[in-house]
Structure 1
């Protein structure tokens, strides 16, 4: 487990943008944090790092948004609305094993649908106005341990 500190939204995006350099086909990121913690801001940084020019919007009501214009496709998922029903019928494994990077918000609602290996990133707001945050990187599996090691060595 490793931690980065961001003083504002711009730094949160920069951290994510630089992490994107280390991601490859089939990378799965789980973003944890309360409402307003910066999950979509982080996703915008990943998208920028992948070269995606489209506007990144929260997929709260659509569940999954796909962006195809970058170095790798980006699959941005918000599974909050699946708390009661799970994700059995969505074919999530096709995204997780696909050609792109999958980012899942609220993954705690679909534990049985997640791959065995992933990179969990907890966004923990801090400060009086919660504009600062700690980003806690928790790799699960050898490939994600390597991504985190390479990322922190590079910075």
Structure 2
């Protein structure tokens, strides 16, 4: 599914729709250039989950965990890592380990992952002359996942 997001607010609203409708255990792999809207989308997801605390990109901390919403949100940012460094963190524990089925995992710069989950939503954000284009593709159990607005 491709869609045009004309501005910041549209990106946040799209994220809110995701946050309201995604089931626990969903992994979202986010891709896009710097400033394409990945963090804005995750902020919307958090808002849709009912998380009221400030959501910032974990560029330096790598992982932020939010537990105050409908379900937990695990927000990861791999921008500063090489693929080998990302692998050494054993991030698969977020989708294969104890956190499995408990929350939503949103990973910025997911192209740096060497091991991906079996089921995930891949969201690519790209600049367009009239805003941003978002492309959402599901794999495995999320292949035909419908976005509920």
TM-score, normalization by structure 1: 0.87
- The unaligned stretches of length 5 or more in structure 1 are none
Contact 2:83 2:114 in 1 (8 A): no
- The unaligned stretches of length 5 or more in structure 2 are none
Measured in 2, the distance between the counterparts of 1:93 and 1:136 equals 24
RMSD: 1.5
Contact 1:86 1:110 in 2 (8 A): no
Q: How does 1:88-99 map to 2 (within 5 A)?
A: 88-97=87-96, 98=99, 99=102
How many residue pairs get aligned? The number is 145
1:123 counterpart residue number: 125
Q: How does 1:144-155 map to 2 (within 5 A)?
A: 144-147=142-145, 150-151=146-147, 154-155=148-149
Measured in 1, the distance between the counterparts of 2:49 and 2:95 equals 17
Measured in 2, the distance between the counterparts of 1:32 and 1:138 equals 12
Point out 4+ residue stretches in structure 1 off by more than 6 angstroms: none
Which structure dedicates a bigger proportion of its chain to helix? 1
